[in-house]
């Protein structure tokens, strides 16, 4: 029974080990980024909170 299960156990261990190796830096980066954000960090905020309408409109000169 152990001979039949050995390849599956090796494949499982290899998959887990490679997943940890590949994704650990990404997870650590996200954890470090989430420590520095407020609790409502799932809300996307724009760096500009308002639109300056005067700079977005163009004045047409009439002669």
How do residues 20-44 score in pLDDT, each as one tens digit? 999 999 999 998 888 776 655 555 5
CA distance linking residue 6 with residue 4, whole number of Å: 6
CA 12 to centroid of chain Cα atoms = 26
Domain ranges of the chain: 1-36
pLDDT higher than 90, residue 7: yes
User: How would you label 25-55 residue by residue, b for 16+ Cβ within 10 Å and e otherwise?
Assistant: eeeeeeeeeeeeeeeeeeeeeeeeeeeeeee
CA distance linking residue 41 with residue 16, whole number of Å: 30
- Global model pTM greater than 0.85: no
How do residues 11-23 score in pLDDT, each as one tens digit? 999 999 999 999 9
More confident residue, 1 or 24: 24
Which pLDDT does position 12 carry in this prediction? 97
């Amino acid at each position: 029974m152990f001979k039949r299960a050995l390849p599956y156990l090796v494949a499982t261990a290899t998959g887990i080990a490679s997943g940890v190796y590949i994704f650990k830096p990404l997870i650590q980066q996200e954890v470090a980024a989430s420590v520095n954000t407020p609790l409502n960090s799932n809300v996307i905020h724009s760096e500009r909170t308002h639109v300056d309408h005067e700079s977005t409109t163009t004045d047409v000169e009439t002669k």
